[in-house]
Structure 1
């Protein structure tokens, strides 16, 4: 069972997100907060698997809360809920240790997939957020996808398969299951991908996978 902390200052949004999470029998909301300060305190007290944080909250915004949770309870995976106009906050979310970027206006299946992904140690980007995350990372724009495809051409076919599944938000364990590999082999592929493509982390790799068109809708 994946235990989730849900923080949003709008009660109706919280209720809607909680209802979506409730459709998945493997997810349970163990605590709720309407401000960032309480979200941090509850994360430390309950140690959920995932902290799902709104960006804009009173007392402490979601990005500052993400950073505090990551420092105080690093085992808690943080995902942020954004609106399409929150581009300027993405860099701060990355710096704060967020591993998931989800749109409030997105498909409910993306929300469920994102929570599962970060809980399993992966990174998840809502498809419409990928280009914005790339820009926030300060990487050269790849919106035409040609440059991204050129970079991924440096990989072997197996490494591109791993990169595609990483971009879809799968953890190493789930990638191993999907490709009938042992988890250690997948870990080695991920390390090689990051090194060969000069990427800092799984979030950057996930962005590149989206830009290269490797991630299927």
Structure 2
């Protein structure tokens, strides 16, 4: 059974989600919160596995709540469910530690499946949002004018190789094979990358690597 905490300042949204998701045999809604602060205060007692988080709420936004939840309860998965597909909201949510970003107009069965995938550790993005975030390809003049990010310049060459392959969707085992290194060594490199670039998880590394793919391949 996957325990869910719903966070939304619109009570009708919470009630509707509770009714829809409550029909799923493996999902249990353990509570609803009207803002991020209420959610944060309730987590210790409710012990949810997944928090379904709205973004734009009074008192504490979903982005700030996500950051604090991941700091205080790192095992809890946060899945954003928003009306807005704003690029900045998406990027800030993922940087705060969310495992995915979905839109409220998605069908209930797809939302239930997304919750299951997030609970298992996979990231979930609404159709088109990943492209909005990282798939903008500059023309040749732009590419020449772009400077390599400072944090990338400071990475050792081997860590750059690992980051590039993470961006291509490779697993640690596949990266180890391509670079002729032990899988344990790759895990160490991934940990170093997370620390150097101040990301919380591999999904954020992959999004970042896609965004700077041209620099990594240069």
| Aligned counterparts of 2:125 and 2:25: Cα–Cα separation in 1 | 23
Aligned partner of 1:214 in structure 2 is none
Match of 2:173 among 155, 171, 188: 188
| Aligned counterparts of 1:191 and 1:26: Cα–Cα separation in 2 | 36
| Aligned counterparts of 1:120 and 1:9: Cα–Cα separation in 2 | 27
The SS at the match of 1:59 is coil
Could you list the runs of 5+ residues in structure 2 that have no partner in the other structure?
139-163, 179-185, 195-201, 211-218
Aligned partner of 1:21 in structure 2 is 21
Structure 2-normalised TM-score? 0.64
Aligned partner of 2:136 in structure 1 is 141
Alignment check: 8 A CA contact 2:94 2:100 kept: no
Q: Deviations over 1:177-202 (max 9, x none)?
A: xxxxxxxxx76348879x8xx99723
The answer to whether structure 1 residue 65 and structure 2 residue 65 are counterparts is yes
Structure 1-normalised TM-score? 0.64
| Aligned counterparts of 2:109 and 2:87: Cα–Cα separation in 1 | 22
Aligned partner of 2:78 in structure 1 is 78
Alignment check: 8 A CA contact 2:82 2:103 kept: yes
The SS at the match of 1:106 is coil
Aligned partner of 1:100 in structure 2 is 100
Aligned partner of 1:202 in structure 2 is 203
Stretches of 4+ aligned residues off by more than 6 angstroms: 190-193, 206-209
Alignment check: 8 A CA contact 1:125 1:207 kept: no
Could you list the runs of 5+ residues in structure 1 that have no partner in the other structure?
135-139, 144-153, 167-185, 210-217
Alignment check: 8 A CA contact 1:110 1:126 kept: no
The SS at the match of 1:112 is helix
